[in-house]
Chains A and B, each alone.
Chain A
Amino acid sequence: MKNARWALLLVLVLGLFAAACGDDDEEPTGGGAEPAAEVEEFPADTTMGRIQEAGEIKIGVKYDVPPFGFKNPQNNEIEGFDVDFGKAVADKLGVEPNYVEAISDNRIPFLADGTVDLVLSTMTINAERAQEIEFSEPYYIAQGRILVPQDSDITGVDSLGGTKVCTALGSTYEATLKEQAPEADLRLVDTYSECLELVQNGAVDAVSTDDVILTGMIIQDDTLKLTEGEPLSTEPYGGGIKKGDTEFKEFVDGVLEEYKSGGGWTEAYEKWVGQYTGEEQEPPTMTLEEAIEATS
């Protein structure tokens, strides 16, 4: 009897000690650009003004999708490509970014109810979502691909029939896969980290989602690979903004333009994607209308 209680005491003390006596940080900012030397003040009745008043901008990002948005357990920081772009937006407003985890399921409701001001969580632009929210211009063009173990027989979307394919609940791939691989057995989960777990332990045969998310998985486990063949889809990523807030959308678009032309985009790309894939990419030139066209 006594042993159990001592063990509990030890566990609790250790835990409390560790948790309390350490980096008492709020979500710190991601690495990236220097704060702007000059910050434009915005009128109080605009979203920008409201954010400046609040002193922080709430940005919804993924916490488990390297290299775009993830929480690094070694230092408790939120990092990634999306995170860096979010920092750029925050810097332009002269405020600190406050990152909130936004999973595929709840990111749109979070905009509608004000939990976040901006969503940068690998969100693909499409017509349906464009009805619920405003999108910024595309800030990254990903492609839908398929991830399999190295020794898999699956070569592309045509050979998915009868296999178990994992993707996230609420993502665009649910519909895409039903269309392109109707014979496949779709397994839907909450987060892509669960898909990774399932393909690693063999419970599913393949994972399908944006190539950057898949690349993040390959970085974590190099016994996985992408199949050759045509991409399933083009996935232009857009920042999510509350419906009707065209002012803020234009502001974000402005930041994006500067980010692309000023070299911030290329830097972030190299840091988060390029160094792992060995590829190079130009900043996207697709417009929002083209993006919606491409995904319908």
Chain B
Amino acid sequence: MGDVISVLTDNFDEFLAGFWVTVRLVVFAFAIAMVVGTLVAALRITPNKWLQRLGGVYVETFRNVPLLVLLFISFAGLRRAGVDIGPWTAGIASLGLYTAAYVAEALRSGVFSVSKGQIEAALSLGYTYGQALRRVVFPQAFRTVISPLGSLIIAMIKNSAIIGVSLLALDDLLKTARVVQSRTFETNETFFWAAAGYLLLTVSATFAIRSLEKRYAIHR
């Protein structure tokens, strides 16, 4: 069992590099997911039927397609079609756009949780619809969505592992563990450290979300 420690210390640089790749993937993908997700949520709640439908199509497509298929399409598929997209871009974009569909839904339900009276009051005070959304609805909605968004971050941490095993060939934490394992044949030890890395990320994220919730969340 002394192997367990030595597997980490002998390959520490590799493991650390893999860990950071995972972190970077999650952070950048989350940024994309938030931006695109907000846009799509906005589409979904406008009064315009066609924009609503557009948002709906986005959500239904990206929620029902497997991430691995998306990775193949965005990397192999697009490159064959002539688009010079690199593995990082493809990976972050796929994970981001995929999660954006869920972000959009979370934001949308957050908005609905704000009572209708708020909008009416804002409108009667002379706000335009857009202003009412921005200044009254969204800030309150935001506080309701901390928890669901938190779960999405944790889901992203787990989904990032899929990027590493796909043909994008990025060396994230799981990939690094596999590379070390194929060299040293120490299956249990290498996977133990990979598990530790992922749990470190998900548990920290959980704690961070919970403390944010305590500070800001509205419980309805």
Contact = CB atoms under 8 A, between A and B. Distances in A.
A and B touch in their complex, CB below 8 angstroms: yes
B56 interface: no
A203 B182 contact: no
B167 interface: yes
A174 B76 contact: no
Q: Is the interface of A mostly helix, strand, loop or mixed?
A: mixed
Contacts of B183: 174
Contacts of B87: 203
A207 B169 CA distance: 14
Nearest to B86: A203
Given A169-B178, A174-B182, A188-B179, A201 B165 contact: no
Nearest to A132: B185
Interface in B58-108: 75-76, 79-80, 84, 86-87
Given A188-B169, A198-B167, A203 B178 contact: no
A230 B178 CA distance: 31
Interface stretch (A66-74, A189-197, A259-267): A189-197
Looking at B76, B167, B178, B183, which has the most chain A CB atoms within 10 Å of its CB?
Answer: B167
Contact of A200 (B80, B84, B179, B185): B80
B70 to A, nearest CB: 16
Interface of B: 75-76, 79-80, 84, 86-87, 165, 167, 169, 175, 178-179, 182-183, 185
A169 B167 contact: no
**Most chain B C-beta atoms within 10 Å of own C-beta, residue among A105, A174, A194, A201:** A201
Contact of B165 (A166, A190, A200): A190
Contacts of A170: 182
Contact of B84 (A174, A188, A189, A202): A202
A198 B86 CA distance: 11
A132 B184 CA distance: 12
Nearest to A166: B169
Interface residues of A, number: 17
Given A174-B182, A190-B167, 16 more contacts: A105-B178, A105-B182, A132-B185, A166-B169, A170-B182, A174-B183, A187-B169, A188-B175, A188-B179, A189-B169, A194-B169, A197-B167, A198-B76, A198-B167, A200-B80, A201-B75
A178 to B, nearest CB: 10
Nearest to B84: A202
Contacts of B185: 132
Given A197-B76, A200-B80, A202-B79, A189 B182 contact: no
A166 B86 CA distance: 15
Interface of A: 105, 132, 166, 169-170, 174, 187-190, 194, 197-198, 200-203
A201 B179 CA distance: 24
A202 B185 CA distance: 32
A201 B182 contact: no
A198 B182 contact: no
A192 to B, nearest CB: 11
B165 A203 contact: no
A174 B87 CA distance: 20
Contact of B167 (A132, A174, A194): A194
A285 B80 CA distance: 43
Contacts of A166: 169
Contacts of A188: 169, 175, 179
Nearest to B169: A187
15 contacts: A132-B185, A166-B169, A169-B182, A170-B182, A174-B179, A188-B169, A188-B175, A188-B179, A190-B167, A194-B169, A198-B167, A200-B80, A201-B76, A203-B75, A203-B86
A108 to B, nearest CB: 8
B179 A169 contact: yes
A189 B86 CA distance: 16
Contact of A198 (B84, B169, B178): B169
Contacts of B84: 202
Nearest to A4: B60
